[in-house]
Amino acid sequence: MEVTSGAGAVISLVVVSVLFLAWLVALFMLLVDSISVGAKILWFLVLTCLAPVAIPIYLVLRHRRHRDLPTAERSLA
């Protein structure tokens, strides 16, 4: 299948749209995350420059960090 064909163009558009939405969600989650300002700035730069690699890494690390929080802190985060 060629990317320039009709079906290839539609699939490419869908993939790019999904990746863009994943990037936006990761940036929003970063804004509301309970990490320091310095860490937020660093993660923003990494998410912006290395998005395909950084998005899954950030989401996994965030999930692990929130899973390890005590229940009282989890409701605040």
68 near 57, Cβ under 8 Å?
no
Amino acid found at 65: R
From CA 30, how far away is CA 49, in angstroms rounded? 15
* Residue 77 predicted with pLDDT over 70: no
Average pLDDT, the chain: 83
Q: Which pLDDT score, from 0 to 100, does residue 21 have?
A: 92
State CA 57 to chain mean position distance.
8
Q: Which pLDDT score, from 0 to 100, does residue 17 have?
A: 92
From CA 29, how far away is CA 58, in angstroms rounded? 10
Q: Is 40 exposed, middle or buried (0-12, 13-18, 19+ CB in 10 A)?
A: middle
For the residues 50-64, what does the mean pLDDT come to?
Answer: 87
Which residue segment(s) compose the domain that 72 sits in?
Answer: 6-76
Total structural domains within the chain: 1
Q: Which pLDDT score, from 0 to 100, does residue 66 have?
A: 82
58 or 72, greater pLDDT: 58
User: Is residue 1 included in any domain, yes or no?
Assistant: no
Q: Which pLDDT score, from 0 to 100, does residue 42 have?
A: 93
Q: Which pLDDT score, from 0 to 100, does residue 72 have?
A: 53
